Structure 1
Amino acid sequence: MLKEVRKIATFVETTYCEGGKTADTPVTTVIVAAVIRNPWAGQGFVENLRPEILRVAPELGEIMTRRLVEVMPGEQVQAYGKAAVVGVNGEIEHASAIIHTLRFGNLFRHAVSGTAFLSFTNTRVGPGALVSVPMIHKSETGKRSHFITGTFQMADAPSADEILLAIGAADGGRVHPRIADRFQDMQEMGLDQASA
């Protein structure tokens, strides 16, 4: 286990009813979040973030992915995303550095047979902030039924010199999707893929 890891938490939520109507199929969302000491904390402005990215991101990605697929096996995952928030003494670039590398994201993507990019948030917050993990369909990026968001919070994280990272997955989209997808809009508007 990386020495930077303070704790890892798993959040599971199942939606059975939305808008007063019971779901035909309930939708479960799983988020795995890790709180780590910011590896660049206390160093001032660090020009080259790469050595710590190469050291931290692959192992953290493996640990978090393994935990997520233990709860929701890869074949059940339909939508996914990620988030990184840095404490107030860090740079947003520090949060971004860990999750915006193929050494982190590809582990998750491959484990769930995804082909789409992982939608994301990266920002700076204080402890206890509500963190959003935006998700899209793992292979059909224009499938708006799967534009969903998982949320969670950790009362004591991130502290000023920490980073809180998360990956999220869902076994479906919104329970009652009723808006057109991107491809239908494009067809109706006479747009081709290159212009949209």
Structure 2
Amino acid sequence: MTPEIRKLVAVEEETWIEGFKPASQPWRMFAVAAVVRNPWAGRYVEDLTPEIQAFGPVIGELLTDRITRLAGGADAIEAYGKAAVAGLDGEIEHASGLIHTLRFGNHYRQAVGAKSYLAFTNTRGPANAPIAVPLMDINDAGRRSHYLTVQFAIPDAPRSDEIVVVLGGATGGRPHHRIGDRYKDLEAMGHDVDNPASV
């Protein structure tokens, strides 16, 4: 059992001036997407496990290879995330199933040496639906400079029986970030900086 991939799509933007001020170096954000036939489209399936386990490693390895090449190497990626959009004959659960499995995400996580979880969205929509891939620092979930979003759309995808599966990345944070990070807020509010979950 292998995924039926209709096409791959790559998007990239390189920002030289942000907020009316030149960046010290160009800021790059990018994403790669696989348009995959939804094996569960148009019907209710109780057990999604066989397809998740079969498809996850294939799509995860393929997209990880593509995005690290697009970035110029895995070590160039400082922020990362993932997304999936199910077509209208699919469920949100189908989109979730293909990206919320370690068989998919661990390819990317291990390639970039990440400690943080992969930020995500999972949605449903027609062809040309907005795709938003939230990003965060690969090692520090509280580093707000790397809270980013890659946005794009694919004019002919997802078809009703497809799922668009996406990995996103960035070579750095916002060029002129100046809102501090989560830890400064915690400290100012008198919370335990070493255990943000205690809040």
TM-score by length of 1: 0.96
1:83 and 1:120 in contact (8 A); partners too: yes
Residue 118 of structure 2 corresponds to residue 91 of structure 1? no
CA deviation map 1:67-98 (0-9, x unaligned) = 11111111111000000000011000000000
- Give the Cα–Cα distance (whole angstroms) in 1 for the partners of residues 4 and 93 of structure 2: 18
- Give the Cα–Cα distance (whole angstroms) in 2 for the partners of residues 75 and 57 of structure 1: 23
> Residue 51 of structure 2 corresponds to which residue in structure 1?
52
- Deviation, 1:41, is 1.7
> Residue 106 of structure 2 corresponds to which residue in structure 1?
106
1:114 and 1:139 in contact (8 A); partners too: yes
CA deviation map 1:102-126 (0-9, x unaligned) = 0000000001111100000001111
> Residue 198 of structure 2 corresponds to which residue in structure 1?
195
- Deviation, 1:127, is 0.5
Name the aligned partner's letter for residue 190 of structure 2. G
Aligned residues: 195
CA deviation map 1:136-195 (0-9, x unaligned) = 000000000000001111000001110001000100011111102001111111101242
- Give the Cα–Cα distance (whole angstroms) in 1 for the partners of residues 38 and 68 of structure 2: 26
1:86 and 1:125 in contact (8 A); partners too: yes
1:80 and 1:169 in contact (8 A); partners too: yes
Percent identical among aligned pairs is: 49
> Residue 141 of structure 1 corresponds to which residue in structure 2?
141
Residue 132 of structure 2 corresponds to residue 129 of structure 1? no
- Give the Cα–Cα distance (whole angstroms) in 2 for the partners of residues 31 and 16 of structure 1: 19
TM-score by length of 2: 0.95
> Residue 116 of structure 2 corresponds to which residue in structure 1?
116
- Give the Cα–Cα distance (whole angstroms) in 1 for the partners of residues 3 and 158 of structure 2: 16
Name the aligned partner's letter for residue 195 of structure 1. S
- Give the Cα–Cα distance (whole angstroms) in 1 for the partners of residues 78 and 185 of structure 2: 22
Q: Which runs of 4+ in 1 moved over 3 A?
A: none
Secondary structure (helix, strand or coil) at the match of 2:132 reads strand
- Give the Cα–Cα distance (whole angstroms) in 2 for the partners of residues 12 and 92 of structure 1: 26
Gaps of 5+ in 1: none
2:135 and 2:169 in contact (8 A); partners too: yes
The 3 A distance-change label for structure 1 pair 54 and 89 is same
Gaps of 5+ in 2: none
Secondary structure (helix, strand or coil) at the match of 1:71 reads helix
Q: How does 1:39-78 map to 2 (within 5 A)?
A: 39-42=39-42, 44-72=43-71, 73-78=73-78
2:82 and 2:118 in contact (8 A); partners too: yes
CA RMSD of aligned residues (A): 1.2
1:2 and 1:60 in contact (8 A); partners too: no
- Give the Cα–Cα distance (whole angstroms) in 2 for the partners of residues 3 and 24 of structure 1: 42
> Residue 5 of structure 1 corresponds to which residue in structure 2?
5
